[in-house]
């Protein structure tokens, strides 16, 4: 697994996490979100947005929003499998 970013914000009501990317990420990638306590969950990136626009690919430095299947927290680490 390779670290691709860090969660900077989580919107609980709409279940969207904002990820500050340290590497590229694409729709279809398998990711794992790891909490500070070592637990976490995996999922496929179904869709993502950059500044409210749908994108298929994002690059290092982008802040992307993705719908997540479980609760995320600020500071959680995102890995690409």
pLDDT band at 69 (very low <50, low <70, confident <90, very high): very high
Going by C-alpha positions, the residue among 49, 9, 42, 52 that lies closest to residue 25 is 49
Element (H, E) at 19: strand 16-21
* Cβ(48)–Cβ(28) below 8 Å: no
* Cβ(7)–Cβ(33) below 8 Å: yes
In the chain, the number of structural domains is 1
Cα angle 59, 64, 70; round to 5: 125
Give the range of the structural domain holding residue 24, as residue numbers without chain letter.
Answer: 2-80
| Predicted pLDDT of residue 64 | 98
DSSP state for residue 23 in the 8-state scheme: S
| Predicted pLDDT of residue 54 | 97
| Predicted pLDDT of residue 14 | 96
The mean of the pLDDT values for the chain is: 97
| Predicted pLDDT of residue 49 | 97
pLDDT band at 53 (very low <50, low <70, confident <90, very high): very high
Look up the CATH number of the domain holding residue 43.
2.40.30.10
């Amino acid at each position: 697994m390779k670290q691709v970013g860090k969660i900077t914000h989580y919107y609980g009501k709409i279940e969207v996490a904002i990820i500050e990317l340290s590497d590229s990420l694409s729709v279809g990638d398998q990711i794992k979100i790891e909490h500070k306590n070592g637990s976490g969950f995996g999922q496929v990136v179904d869709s993502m947005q950059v500044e409210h626009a749908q994108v298929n690919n994002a690059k290092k430095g982008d802040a992307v929003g993705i719908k997540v299947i479980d609760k995320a927290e600020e500071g959680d680490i995102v890995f690409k499998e």
